[in-house]
Structure 1
Amino acid sequence: YYLPHLAHASMEPPVAVADVKDGKAEVWAPVQSPGGTRTDVAKTLGIPESDVTVNVTLLGGGFGRKSKCDFAIEAALLSKALSAPVKVQWTREDDIRHDFLHTVSVERIEAGLDKDGKVIAWRHRSVAPTIASTFAAGANHAAPFELGMGLVDMPFEIENIRCENPAVAAHTRIGWFRSVSNIPRAFAVQSMVGELAAATGRDQKAMLLELIGSPRIVKLSSVKDPWNYGEPWESYPIDTARLRGVVELVAQKGEWGRTVPKGHGLGIAVHRSFVSYIATIVEVAVDDKGKLTVPRVDTAIDCGTYVNPERIRSQLEGAAIMGLGLAKYGEISFKGGRVQQGNFDDFPVLRIDEAPLVTNVHIVPPGPDTPPSGVGEPGLPPFAPALANAIFAATGKRIRNLPIGKQLET
Structure 2
Amino acid sequence: GTVRRSRGDAEGALKVAAKQVEAEYHVPHLAHASMEPPAAVARWSGDRVECWACVQAPQSARKAVAEACGVPLDRVTINVTWLGGGFGRKSKPDFVVEAARVARAAGAPVKVQWTREDDLHHDYFHTVSVQRLTGGLAADGRCVAWRHRTVFPPIGSTFTAGNTTPSWGELRMGCTDVPFAVPNLRVESGEAKAHVRIGWLRSVANIYHAFAVQSFAAELAAAANRDPKDYLLELIGPPRHVDPRGEGAEYDNYGDSLDEYPIDTGRLAAVVKQAASRARWGRALPPGHGLGIAAHRSFLSYVATVVEVAWDSATKRLSIPGVWSVMDAGTVVNPGSARSQLEGGTLFGLSNALYGAIPARRGVVQQRDSPDFRLMRMDEAPRVVEAHVVESDAPPGGVGEPPTPPAAPALCNAIFAATGKRVRHLPVFRDGNPNRLEV
Shared fold, TM over 0.5: yes
Compare 54-63 and 306-315 and name the one that shifted more.
306-315
Amino acid at match of 1:352: M
Q: Which amino acid aligns with 2:369?
A: N
In structure 2, C-alpha distance between the alignment counterparts of 1:45 and 1:23, rounded to whole Å: 10
Paired position in structure 1 for 2:408: 384
* TM-score, normalising length: structure 2: 0.91
- Counterpart of 2:247? 222
SS at match of 2:371: coil
Check if 1:182 corresponds to 2:206. Answer: yes
Work out which of the residue numbers 369, 372, 384 in structure 2 matches 1:343: 369
Equivalent AA in structure 2 for residue 254 of structure 1: A
SS in 2 for 1:278: strand
Q: Which residue of 2 aligns with 1:81?
A: 105
Structure 1 runs of 4+ off > 3 angstroms? none
Q: Which residue number in structure 1 is paired with residue 437 of structure 2?
A: 408
- Tell me, yes or no, if the aligned pair for 2:137 and 2:224 is still in contact at 8 Å: no
After TM superposition, give the deviation of residue 43 of structure 1 in Å: 0.3
Contact preservation (8 Å) 2:142, 2:224: no
Which of 241, 244, 252 is residue 266 of structure 2 equivalent to? 241
2:310 aligned with 1:285: yes
Structure 1 position 258 matched with structure 2 position 283? yes
Which residue of structure 1 lines up, in the alignment, with residue 356 of structure 2?
Answer: 330
Cα distance between partner residues in 1 of 2:49 and 2:254: 34
Quick one: distance in 1 between partners of 2:185 and 2:301? 23
- What letter corresponds to residue 323 of structure 1 in structure 2? G
Q: Give the corresponding residue for 1:357.
A: 383
Q: If the length of structure 1 is used for normalisation, what is the TM-score? A: 0.98
Write the distance in 2 (CA, Å) between the matches of 1:356 and 1:114: 38
Matches for 1:1-400 after TM superposition, within 5 Å: 1-220=25-244, 221-288=246-313, 289-367=315-393, 370-400=394-424
User: Does the aligned pair in 2 maintain the 1:21–1:80 contact within 8 Å?
Assistant: no
Tell me which amino acid in the other structure corresponds to 1:159. P
Alpha-carbon offset, residue 409 of structure 1: 6.9
Q: Residue 291 of structure 1 contacts residue 409 of structure 1 at CA under 8 Å; is this kept in 2? A: no
Q: Secondary structure at the match of 1:75?
A: helix
Once residues 39 and 61 of structure 1 are traced to their aligned partners in structure 2, the CA distance between those partners, rounded to angstroms, is: 22
User: Deviation string for 1:281-305 (max 9, x for gaps)?
Assistant: 0000111133111111111111111
Partner Cα separation in structure 1 for residue 365 and residue 175 of structure 2:
29
Alpha-carbon distance in 2 for matches of 1:352, 1:316? 17
SS of alignment partner, residue 60 of structure 2: helix
Q: Percent identity?
A: 56
2:203–2:401 contact (8 Å) kept in structure 1 = yes
Q: What SS does structure 2 have at the residue aligned with 1:286? A: strand
Unaligned runs of 5+ in 1: none
Name the count of aligned residue pairs: 408
- Whole-Å separation in 2 of the counterparts to 1:355 and 1:174: 29
Deviation of the 1:24 alpha carbon: 1.0
Q: Which runs of 5+ in 2 are unaligned?
A: 1-24
